[in-house]
Structure 1
Amino acid sequence: MVTTRVNAVPALCPRDPSVTGYSDLSTLQDDINLVKEESSTNTFNPPPNTQVFTICPGTTFRLTGDVDIGNQGLHFAHSSNLPPMVLQCGLQGKSSDSCILRGGLHHVWIDNVGALSFKGITFQAATRGSVWMGTGQNEIAFDDCIWQDNTHEWTAVGGANCPNGCAAALAGRFGAANVTNCQFRDNRGKSGAVYGEGMEYTMDRCVFQGNTGTWTAMDGQPAASAITLVNPSSKLELSNSCFTDNEASGPATVKVDDSSKDGTTATVSRSDTDSTLTINKNNFFQNNIVATSTQGQYCTNSIYVYSEQMDDTCEWGDASCCAVAEDCASAVVSSSTTFPPGQTNNRDIFEPTEESGAPYNSHAARWMSGLGMVLGWTLWWV
């Protein structure tokens, strides 16, 4: 791939003079706008080189903004003729180089831009959702990115539902996003961390920890804590990912709405389209909390598949430990398990040890140990 490093105002990075990049947000946005302006007057034949925007290592962009004055977030929008673009942290695009977008209403707004990649970027503390992918045919990629402490619980005037599902970290409509080696930690939104309406998400080796979904059945759209998908054309391919310590006021850690089983344990197909949901490829769930229901319709530590045509199901992850953990051998359980919502499954009480390589909760371990002692004494007494 031929690339061009864009920098209309070249600057040596303060902490690493060997890198030429951006340490000023307005300059970065100006250069993005410049590419947009040039693309609007060119047909690009042959196709243009990939445009790479490099953020200086150790840079924190502190965003401000409210509903009255607008937002300082980066905007990639309204130009389908844009060339492929990459926004990366340092020369290698690694999150360890600490390039942070912090605060503001949102961090990035994407709409109808074609191919766009983010590498090694950290998104923190947005108050109306970190990244929004609009209605254009976006092809977006995130690699080694981190979303942390973002929120989105705003309700429009008159109580209307959020058009983007009020996801705290990542939301989109009718596009495609490839998310690899990313982390979603301690985000809080009505639809949890990630929302998709007509989106095609491919997620591999991602970690979801400590996220909260606050929408309940009383709100009309009970959501999940990590990923919530609606619309028959949505698609999710999920593999080698870990879900721990997430909490939902709705049915599950991951919720897939308006779907029907196609007869296999690994794939769920929409009833009215050809799009598919591929799940349970070495995914690990532990210590996640969901709402209770007297009808037993919710799924603990699993994926909730809702269907109007068939019975709802819970789909268990098929990994015995977190694939991205250093000590995990990524061992896969023989097959994924499907069971009716509300039914107990022995994986629900799987408790790893410190030696197993899975995330270990010492408080839970002590509680289970104590419970075992009580049951043992009870059986002996009887």
Structure 2
Amino acid sequence: MSIVIVGAGLAGATAATELREQGYTGKVVLVGAEEHPPYERPPLSKAYLLGSDPFEKALVHPAEWYAEHDVDLRLGVTATGLDTDAHVLTTSAGDLTYEQLLLATGSEPRVLDLAEEAGVPVAYLRTVEDSDRLREAFGDGRRIVVVGGGWIGLEVAAAARTAGSDVTVFEMEELPLLRVLGPTVAQVFADLHREHGVDLRLGTGVGAEDLEGADLVVAGIGVRPRVDLAHAGGLDVDNGVLVDARLRSSVPSVLAVGDIANQAHPRLGRRIRVEHWDTAIKQGKVAAHNLAGGEEEYEEMPYFFTDQYDLGMEYVGHASAEDEVVVHGSLEDREFRAFWLSDGDVVAAMHVNDWDAGDVIKAAVESGELPEDES
């Protein structure tokens, strides 16, 4: 049986790896538009961007692994069409037939039209080349403007400040990360960046005049799932590819994972699309099992992490900004655990600089019970 995986990023490469590690012996073709072997993207806004880790550390496997494990890795190849009735994938290098198809096409940054129209140098962060461009633009006396105070925007701001750049961040909300964390915890990140000299412009839009004189404008205004191929194949699409609990699309021979998968989550009881590293890995593994004949449901709760200056954080679960938050520890010292409650149940939890708390926050979300305050 032949399996074709479209998207040679972390999710796609993890699925190919799991297929081989679980003993699948059929043909596996992994198609990627980039010229690099599959790599992880978090370092692009963290250690690699800071210059502390080489690119090779971000690779899922050394380049030779794929041939050694009989994975037909086709780089620099773009998928352009999909006929799900004929089981044919059209690519820039010719047609591929498949028995089962995995879509792991990822996402693309939203374009900041204002900067593009103003003619200022503007950059996005998705590929290693994007990260290289940012790093080359950073330095003493360089003026970097970041539009968007989400995770990517703040991580880029931290890297730019660490490199000595003058940094201004524009964010429409009253606090960065407000919709994700709510006001209590979001304030921690606002204070952190201001203490490190970032000019935070909150609760305001950005105009062309705000971008004048910038050495580089970095757009961190979110991403769009890449669903053109899914559309071409007639799959059901709505804020991503609609998949069931087993990650199968509306066409049973096609699965989708990672940034594009809008999953009917069996534990949350609703659809959710998650754009994080951990989901790419774990969905890739579950998809591999199901491609090989399994009927496994993806039940993992979302997990993500960030590193900014001397702040490290891990978050588990899925909460809204309106949920009640209970904090154990010290917000001021930036060493604490936070728990979000909905109808009295813990639905999400995080720790900041409390590296003994990983199991505690996961257990709280699994059980829904608020642990005792150990601070």
Q: TM-score range by the shorter chain?
A: under 0.3
TM-score by length of 2: 0.25
Higher relative contact order (CA 8 A, sep 6+): 2
**Normalised TM-score (structure 1):** 0.25
- The structure where helix makes up a greater share of residues is 2
